[in-house]
């Protein structure tokens, strides 16, 4: 009885002091912050002013905690006081209605502290349940406000993630391909900063780990004889959105149709350029489509900075030959100019609801590549010094390691496909989820297919994905299965997923089994197992040579990782 009485009194103390004392004072302080921020708009003292005011709010909260600690101490001293309803003074029953006082931090005796000595005449007052609920809502609101103020300073928002991964790759050797073994620990760190500039403009940048010469990963290996890992500006952009239907961006960013599906673009790939998205709502229709997105992206992948290439004789008679002679091996004409390598991607996406439980999405786009051979040249010893090292003042040890798209000669610089004009379609259907005693279990099924119309053979790719469950809290489980097929001329290996096709990117068929477990709101444990086989072998009669030919033994890859989000 005494424990219940003491618990009820303590709840009443917290509710009354927080609601009647702290909330008005805190609200006033928050208003002062807003007024001060408005008054200081454009001033160089805005950040320092906000910091001082947030610090003052934290100071007042600490003072409130001190007062509550003194109240709890007084309750401990009264543990042996008479029960309510006895003939002795019922001091404990009086604390439910003592006057609201915000602690000031000054030291005083218990007798002089109004929060510890309520007026005897109010001893029998009680707090209605509705009023207690109101107090609780106000306290929750105050906590959310404090959390918001703590996360942002002068409008900046911060987020990020840290991933620690065990990564094992294994393949036994035979007459078609040699063995492969790489067992390592890796980490990935990303830190995001976002800043709304106005109602129509905002900016974003990200710092992250990674390597200089691999655009398909932010991972850094546990290697280098105790060397420190580098930190890069991995992405940045400015965005203009005059209304909710239009979004224009410029900078270094994910491709406009990137969907983290592992089919075409690697999820770590970031491209320099521009992209546009325009949304249009649709009238009610039989298939439940609600809106259509028009998307376009224009990206710049190289900057050769070569005015005129040398002649063929200069490249054969000069010792040493000019470095730019490497472009001749990639099919660029002697004495001509070297144009940038570009990607132009445009298409549409339809989004809609079939009913309250089911939704679906249909996407189609066309990717047009200009001068794609430069990407293959950048991966080779002869070409990466003129394409990768560029003019940044850093000498990189090699070019992008992910190759595999068919070339006209073994290890050559010219793709077998004359052009890469890739059409793609994708359809996803999603169920919102079935409720269990532990979690919500959404289910979605997706199918994607593409064809490279720039060649006549080995040009198709497709992938199917089944996903069950999601991870948002402790005990949540997600299961995923993927089957992917990518032929040797279907897409460019230097931009596609480097896990689904280890070291080769294309000319693969892969099974992926994935199981994720939530450990808490911010931490999950992900496990992925890949089974990879090559599709076709080299065919000299058709000028088709691949990195890992058919007949090579099956490759296996295991990734087990902890992801921390903040």
pLDDT confidence of residue 152:
62
Q: What is the pLDDT of residue 98?
A: 44
Whether the per-residue pLDDT at 259 is higher than 80: the answer is yes
What SS3 state is found at 283? coil
Task: Tell me the mean pLDDT in the region 446-469.
Answer: 97
Per-residue tokens: 238:
């400015």
Rounded mean pLDDT of 115-138?
57
pLDDT band at 437 (very low <50, low <70, confident <90, very high): confident
Distance between CA atoms of residues 314 and 304, nearest Å? 19
Cα–Cα distance measured from residue 363 to residue 302, given in angstroms and rounded to the nearest whole number: 28
Which H or E run contains 363? strand 358-370
Is the pLDDT reported for residue 416 higher than 80? yes
Check if the beta carbon of residue 507 is closer than 8 Å to that of residue 177: no
Report the pLDDT value the prediction gives residue 489, as an integer from 0 to 100: 97
Q: Which among 501, 495, 31, 560 has a CA at the least distance from the CA of 267?
A: 495
Mean pLDDT for 263-269 is 93
Q: Report the distance separating Cα 379 and Cα 492, nearest Å.
A: 12
Tell me what percent of the residues of the chain surpass a pLDDT of 90.
Answer: 53
Higher pLDDT pick, 319 / 124: 319
Query: Which domains, from first to last, does the chain contain?
Result: 2-151 (no CATH), 157-304+339-565 (2.40.160)
Bond preceding residue 320 cis, omega within 30 of 0: yes
Across 368-392, average pLDDT? 86
Token pair, residue 566, equals 């903040």
Return phi, psi of residue 3, to 5°. -65, -40
Say what the pLDDT of residue 124 is.
Answer: 46
Answer for the pair 362, 446: CB distance below 8 angstroms, yes or no.
Answer: no
pLDDT score for 73 = 66
Strand partners, 187: 164, 220
Write down the pLDDT at residue 97.
Answer: 42
Q: What's the whole-number mean pLDDT along residues 101-108?
A: 46
For residues 459 and 140, the model is more confident at: 459
For 288-327, the pLDDT digits (tens) are 889 999 999 999 998 888 889 999 888 988 888 888 898 9
Q: Is the pLDDT of residue 238 over 90?
A: yes
pLDDT digits (tens, 9 = 90+) for 304-314: 888 899 998 88
Whole-model pTM: value is 0.72
In the predicted model, what is the mean pLDDT of the chain? 82
Is 60 exceeded by the pLDDT of residue 40?
no
In this predicted model, what pLDDT tens digit does every residue of 41-100 receive, in sequence order? 445 456 666 667 777 777 777 777 777 777 666 666 555 444 444 444 444 344 444 444
Mean pLDDT of 517-538: 96
Cβ 509 vs Cβ 485: under 8 Å: yes
Q: What is the pLDDT of residue 61?
A: 77
DSSP-assigned states of every residue in 512-555:
EEEEEEE-SSSEEEEEEEEEEEE----BGGGTBB-SS-TTSPPE
Considering only residues 434 and 58, tell me which one the structure prediction assigns the higher pLDDT: 434
Give Cα 124 distance to the centre of its chain: 56
Task: Return the bridge partners of 153, or none.
Answer: 156
Phi and psi based region of residue 165 (left: phi greater than 0; alpha: psi -120 to 50; beta: remaining):
beta
User: 521-534 as b/e, with b when 16 or more CB fall inside 10 Å?
Assistant: eeebebebebebbb
Task: Considering only residues 361 and 46, tell me which one the structure prediction assigns the higher pLDDT.
Answer: 361
């Amino acid at each position: 009885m005494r424990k219940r009485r003491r618990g009820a009194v303590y709840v009443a103390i917290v509710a009354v002091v927080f609601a009647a004392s702290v909330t008005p004072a805190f609200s006033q302080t928050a208003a002062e912050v807003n007024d001060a921020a408005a008054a200081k708009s454009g001033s160089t003292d805005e950040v320092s002013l906000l910091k001082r005011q947030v610090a003052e709010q934290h100071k007042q909260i600490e003072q409130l905690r001190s007062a509550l600690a003194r109240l709890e101490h007084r309750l401990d001293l009264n543990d042996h006081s008479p029960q309510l309803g006895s003939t002795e003074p019922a001091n404990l029953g009086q604390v439910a209605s003592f006057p609201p006082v915000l602690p000031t931090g000054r030291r005083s005796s218990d007798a002089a502290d109004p929060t510890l000595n309520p007026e005897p005449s109010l001893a029998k007052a009680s707090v209605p349940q509705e009023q207690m609920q109101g107090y609780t809502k106000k306290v929750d609101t105050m906590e959310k406000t404090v959390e918001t103020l703590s996360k942002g300073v002068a409008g900046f928002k911060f987020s990020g993630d840290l991933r620690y991964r065990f990564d094992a790759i294994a393949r036994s050797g035979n007459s078609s391909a040699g063995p492969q073994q790489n067992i390592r620990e890796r980490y990935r760190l990303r830190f995001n900063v976002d800043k709304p500039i106005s109602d129509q403009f905002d900016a974003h940048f990200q710092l992250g780990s990674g390597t200089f010469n691999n655009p398909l990963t932010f991972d850094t290996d546990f290697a280098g004889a105790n060397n420190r890992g580098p930190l890069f500006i991995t992405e940045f952009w400015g965005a203009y959105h005059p209304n909710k239907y239009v979004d224009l961006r410029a900078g270094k960013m994910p491709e406009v149709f990137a969907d983290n599906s592992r089919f075409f673009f690697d999820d770590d790939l970031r491209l320099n350029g521009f992209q546009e998205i325009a949304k249009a709502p649709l009238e009610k229709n039989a298939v439940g489509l609600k809106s259509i997105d028009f998307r376009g992206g224009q990206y710049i992948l190289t900057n050769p900075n070569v005015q005129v290439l040398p002649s063929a004789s200069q490249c054969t008679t000069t010792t040493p030959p000019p470095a730019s002679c490497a472009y001749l091996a990639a099919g660029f004409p002697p004495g001509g100019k070297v144009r940038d390598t570009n990607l132009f991607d445009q298409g549409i996406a339809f989004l809609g609801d079939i009913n309250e439980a089911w939704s679906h999405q249909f996407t189609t786009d066309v990717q047009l590549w200009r001068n794609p051979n430069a990407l293959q040249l950048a991966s080779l010893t002869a070409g990466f010094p003129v394409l990768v090292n560029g003019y940044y003042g850093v000498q990189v040890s090699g070019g992008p390691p992910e190759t595999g798209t068919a070339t006209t000669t073994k290890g050559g610089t010219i793709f077998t496909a004359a052009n890469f004009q890739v059409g793609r379609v994708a359809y996803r259907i999603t169920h919102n989820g079935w409720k269990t005693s532990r979690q919500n279990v959404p289910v979605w099924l997706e199918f994607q297919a593409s064809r490279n119309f720039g060649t006549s053979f080995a040009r198709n790719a497709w992938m199917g994905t089944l996903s069950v469950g999601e991870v948002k809290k402790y005990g949540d489980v997600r299961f995923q299965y993927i089957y992917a097929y990518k032929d040797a001329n279907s897409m460019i290996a230097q931009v596609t997923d480097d896990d689904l096709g280890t070291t080769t990117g294309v000319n693969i068929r892969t099974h992926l089994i994935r199981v994720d477990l939530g450990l808490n709101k911010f931490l999950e444990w992900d496990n992925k197992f890949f089974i990879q086989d090559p599709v076709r072998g080299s065919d000299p009669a058709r000028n088709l040579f691949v990195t890992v030919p058919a007949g090579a033994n099956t490759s296996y890859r295991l990734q087990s990782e902890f992801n921390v989000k903040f």
